[in-house]
Amino acid sequence: MTEHPAVGILVYHQVGDFKTMRRHRANYCDRRRFTRQMALLARLGYRVLDLDTALDCLAGAQAAPTRAVVLTFDDGYENFAQQALPVLQDHGFPATVYAISGWLGRRAEWFAAEPGRPIPDLMSAQRLREVHAAGITIGSHTASHTRLHRASRLVLRQELRDSKAALEDILGDEVRHLSYPYNSFDRATVHAAARAGYASATTCLRGLATVADHPLALPRLAISFGDRLLAYWWRLLLGPKAAPALVEWRRHLADEPGHFRPLDADPGYGDPESSQDALPAKERDQGPMPST
């Protein structure tokens, strides 16, 4: 157990058999590598936490294990059910899938913007129920996989509240967690997520989640297609240095209500060097991540 919890929230997208690729490598994980990665977590004694437990640890409501990770899967691909879930079940690992409420049972047509890129199937409502019944946490990835940065108040409300309500209707359970498509968010998005009733929201800011983070802007670690076991292990054990954008966002949201730790407390995290180098705290889209 540790007094300074740090949780590696891993983000996966598709798991399966894919041709070697140069682009979007962080969005594909070979199923054999995924199997080895999960076996490694088990062998190294990592505690794989569900998202609610991880939030409790970060909030100090329960003791945090020394080596803690959370597994998250964006977009709700059918290959989660086919390829990833059986491996997770072999180990008894919990995970969170962020589903797009308006795209259930369809294909990920937004991939068509790039000619030649295979367009995968997304889970249907029925499949999502089955996955949920198998113990997987279902979160929202909005209603239409839209960029939330600078969205109007109406669009924010629709994307965040409607997707939550639609998924809750399908599952008969509360949907408490959100992932921002394209890593696109700003302070207004965080406020809207709070108003919509989400307990957490994950980003693609790179770093370990700590008490320095706001629960509605949690960093994650992307696992790339090319990551071999050694690289995977390296990311987990050493933990990456918080990306400058993450340091900036931590400072930016430090005074927001609902923070794990109040502004005046010393969180013991952050990197003064990076802080000085960080870009001005202007709100902006967090960069092009066209298929996340």
Contact footprint for Zn ion (CB under 5 A): 74-75, 181, 292
Write down the least CB distance from residue 49 to Zn ion, Å: 22
Write down the least CB distance from residue 74 to Zn ion, Å: 4
15-44: burial string, b at 16+ Cβ within 10 Å, e else: bbebeeeeebbbbbbbbebbbebbeebeee
Classified as helix, coil or strand, 166 is: helix
Of 83 and 291, CB closest to Zn ion: 291
How many other CB atoms sit within 10 Å of the CB of residue 262?
10
Write down the least CB distance from residue 145 to Zn ion, Å: 6
Of 74 and 248, CB closest to Zn ion: 74
Classified as helix, coil or strand, 211 is: coil
The answer to whether the CB of 240 falls within 8 A of the CB of 207 is yes
Write down the least CB distance from residue 104 to Zn ion, Å: 14
Of 74 and 186, CB closest to Zn ion: 74
Of 75 and 186, CB closest to Zn ion: 75
Write down the least CB distance from residue 100 to Zn ion, Å: 7
- The CA distance from 288 to 165, in Å, is 29
Q: Which of 102, 118, 283 is nearest to 190 (CA)?
A: 283
Of 53 and 286, CB closest to Zn ion: 286
82: left (phi over 0), alpha (psi -120 to 50) or beta: alpha
Of 163 and 292, CB closest to Zn ion: 292
Write down the least CB distance from residue 80 to Zn ion, Å: 13
Q: Which of 284, 100, 275 is nearest to 185 (CA)?
A: 284
